[in-house]
Amino acid sequence: MVLRPLPRSYAHVPRTILWLVPGGEMELDGRLAPVQPFYLGKWPVTNEQFEAFAPDHRRSPLSSGDRDLATGVSFQQADAYCRWYAELSRKPMRLPTAVEWRYACRGADRADDPAAWCATPESIDRCCWHAGNSGGRVKPPEHRAPNGFGLHGMLGSVWEWAAPDAHGGDDSATLCGGSFRNEATELHDGLIRRRAPNCAADDTGFRVARSFRP
């Protein structure tokens, strides 16, 4: 993969929109896990954003436009992009942890709040691209309604990489949320896969996170 040198100015690269996710708690394995406030991409990284870092990125025919989501991205590439973006912006950009991702996906800051935005077939169809409405290709997540935290495409669209946490091993990485190929009935915040860090498919992408406090 060819990497582009850092531009002279942060203003000269296409930037992702970061959205503040409020702190709260999430039930995980029968316990309440606190989640600190953090920023998360309003939707996953696009081709033009990723190619500012990796100009030789090969676009999928299923997601080929400048503002279409970057797919065929491995965990290693996603992590490297975040490190590059952190150096460029001089801010601690990173991948979200799996716990942060699941919390952000739920769209509620209390563990006992239901994730109403994806509770019914009608709401899933309104908010998510899935096998029943995507036409077999990646669609712009911003064309679907956001979840309770104002984030688009947290389920369906593309599988998203998350940083390792206590539930992953050294030899695997976590993909979250499903893709446009999943049936609507399969989509929920606990939908994850373990894959090798170099795995890259035409329905894998990522979004950028940043801690609210250094």
Tokens at residue 39, please? Answer: 């920023």
**Position 5 in a domain:** no
Decide if 2 is inside a domain.
no
| Block residue for tokens 């691209």 | 129
Q: What is the CATH number of the domain that holds 35?
A: 3.90.1580.10
pLDDT in tens, 89-108: 999 999 999 999 999 999 98
Whole domain around residue 107: which residue ranges?
13-211
Mean pLDDT, residues 103-118 taken together: 81
Unique residue bearing structure tokens 């490190």: 83
**pTM for the model:** 0.91
Structure tokens at 119: 């509770």
What Rg do the C-alpha atoms of the chain give, in angstroms? 16
- Is residue 20 domain-resident? yes
Please indicate, yes or no, if residue 6 is contained in any of the structural domains: no
Tell me: the pLDDT tens digits for 32-53? 889 999 999 999 999 999 999 9
Q: Based on DSSP, count helices (H) and strands (E) in the chain, helices before strands.
A: 4, 10
For the chain, how many structural domains are there in total?
1
Residue 1 domain-assigned (yes or no): no
Tokens of residue 50, six digits: 């990723």
